[in-house]
Structure 1
Amino acid sequence: MCLGWIFYRSPSVPWSAQEIQEYEELYSAAVSGHSDILYTSKYPKYRFIQYIAGSKPVRLHGSNRKDITEFQPRLQTLFNGQYVEAVFATRDSVWALFYAVFDRAKLEGNFRNACLTVKGDTSRYYFFSLTRATADRNPWTEGMVYILPDASFTHTSDGIVSFDEWTSSEPVTPLTRLSVKPQDFYWMDKVSCHKPRELVLISWLLYKSRVRWGRNE
């Protein structure tokens, strides 16, 4: 309940039988043909990605790069600041989409984001915030959501509340991938702005009011 006061909670919208049929056909054709997903459905891409993430043994990785054929472990930091050499991924479509369309080349200062899960709760809780300098540069671009086999991935946390963050210490070859655009990130209107040196806790507490009233920074 507390997370719902601070962050935005994912809506629960069921898939129709027609949606599921289309998604299964699109995914099967791409994986069996070792090709990119040729998206022809009338339904939004974020729903397709969400369906695949929840129904297949896969993890997702969003990137501005569109030419990755194999992910290699590299030194990065976990949500808690700990360094690890790994391939990072998530089960969450919204988080993957954010990283796919957020142009890191236009970053000024820092950016803050989260996708949190709670044991026993099927909802996700989201937080997205940029500095004003970054936001003013229109930091959005086309990108790619890579769909990866989940066999080598482990969850980075087993707490009651955790980031939906998964890592693999082994190289990972994508099963397929889907090209996405900024408009596919349907939480775009939930991105706020924070001061560069602001405490993360302050960014959290002010997040929803900044989004709601446009009182960024």
Structure 2
Amino acid sequence: MISFIISILMYESPRVVFTKEEIEKYEELSKSLNEGGLIDYSLQYQKYRFLEYLSLKGNYVFHGSNNNNIERFEPRKQTLYNNELTTAVFATTEPIWSIFYAVFNRSALIGSFRNGCIIGRSKKYHYYSINESTIKNNPWTDGMLYILPKDKFHMSGQGKVQFDEWICNEYVTPISKISVSLSDFYFLNIVAVHKDNESLFSTWMFYKARTLLANSKRASNNL
């Protein structure tokens, strides 16, 4: 039942189908992954496709940051999606969610931003909402997506429905990294805006309707 509700209120991850030529180029580029090195990405395919391909290989998790020069990740006190406190490094198997964290300028935050990638019925669903005061502050920037070894991490929760949130309780050195910009964020057009004092429940309930209305208005203005 919960999975069904999530599928109505949120957006499913894109279903990426790779061509044979695309896979060959990704495999060749994957050879450049090294200890902390920057990937020189010059392929004609959107970056999220390459990162989704890496995710499907099952060896990596991702962490997005405004900081372009992290050499080693240190466990820090943070809150899990269920509000439980932990000291850990956070990551996810969903690179699109990580790209959001790379291009969202945390220094521009005035209030709250709400987002997540939730697994339900073996599918992933996304939501992204930023409060009014922050969205007026132009909260976007260029950032870095770090590729981390998945075998160092474990999922933060259990159950049929949970966030695609992975944690590691020790220091982690990135395998590689890739620079990203706002144009690399696949779900840019479904970022909603919520009121500064709005409850989380209201944000969830009205999230998809707000994005559909905003996109409808943009389409009308472009006619």
Q: Shorter-chain TM-score: which interval?
A: over 0.9
Distance 1:187 1:213 in 2: 15
Which residue in the other structure is 1:3 paired with? Answer: 6
The residue type equivalent to 2:111 in the other structure is G
Does structure 2 conserve the Cα–Cα contact (< 8 Å) formed by 1:57 and 1:150? yes
In the TM superposition, what are the counterparts of 1:1-217 in structure 2 within 5 Å?
Answer: 1-31=4-34, 35-119=37-121, 121=122, 123-214=123-214
Q: Deviations over 1:116-173 (max 9, x none)?
A: 0124x2x310010001111111111000000001122110111110000000001000
Distance 2:7 2:208 in 1: 10
Deviation at 1:14, TM superposition (A): 1.0
Deviation at 1:197, TM superposition (A): 2.1
The residue type equivalent to 2:22 in the other structure is E
Distance 1:131 1:78 in 2: 21
Distance 1:132 1:76 in 2: 25
Does structure 1 conserve the Cα–Cα contact (< 8 Å) formed by 2:140 and 2:182? yes
Where does the alignment leave 5 or more consecutive residues of structure 2 unmatched?
A: 216-223
Distance 1:82 1:34 in 2: 31
Does structure 1 conserve the Cα–Cα contact (< 8 Å) formed by 2:133 and 2:196? no
**What's the secondary structure of 2:17's corresponding residue?**
coil
**What's the secondary structure of 2:151's corresponding residue?**
coil
Distance 2:156 2:214 in 1: 34
Distance 2:183 2:130 in 1: 18
Which residue in the other structure is 2:220 paired with? Answer: none
Q: Identity of paired residues, percent?
A: 40
Relative to 1, partners in 2 of residues 1:200 and 1:180: Cα closer, same or farther, differing over 3 Å? same
The residue type equivalent to 1:15 in the other structure is F
Q: TM-score, normalised by structure 2?
A: 0.91
Does structure 1 conserve the Cα–Cα contact (< 8 Å) formed by 2:153 and 2:166? yes
Distance 2:66 2:36 in 1: 21
Distance 1:100 1:191 in 2: 15
Deviation at 1:13, TM superposition (A): 2.5
**What's the secondary structure of 1:151's corresponding residue?**
helix
Q: TM-score, normalised by structure 1?
A: 0.94
Where does the alignment leave 5 or more consecutive residues of structure 1 unmatched?
A: none
Deviation at 1:196, TM superposition (A): 2.1
Q: Deviations over 1:17-55 (max 9, x none)?
A: 111111111121232x76211001100001111110121
Relative to 1, partners in 2 of residues 1:37 and 1:56: Cα closer, same or farther, differing over 3 Å? farther
Relative to 1, partners in 2 of residues 1:145 and 1:67: Cα closer, same or farther, differing over 3 Å? same
Q: How many pairs are equivalent?
A: 212
Does structure 2 conserve the Cα–Cα contact (< 8 Å) formed by 1:30 and 1:38? no
Distance 2:16 2:184 in 1: 17
Question: RMSD across aligned C-alpha pairs, in angstroms?
Answer: 1.4
Q: Deviations over 1:75-101 (max 9, x none)?
A: 111001111000000000111100000
Deviation at 1:183, TM superposition (A): 0.6
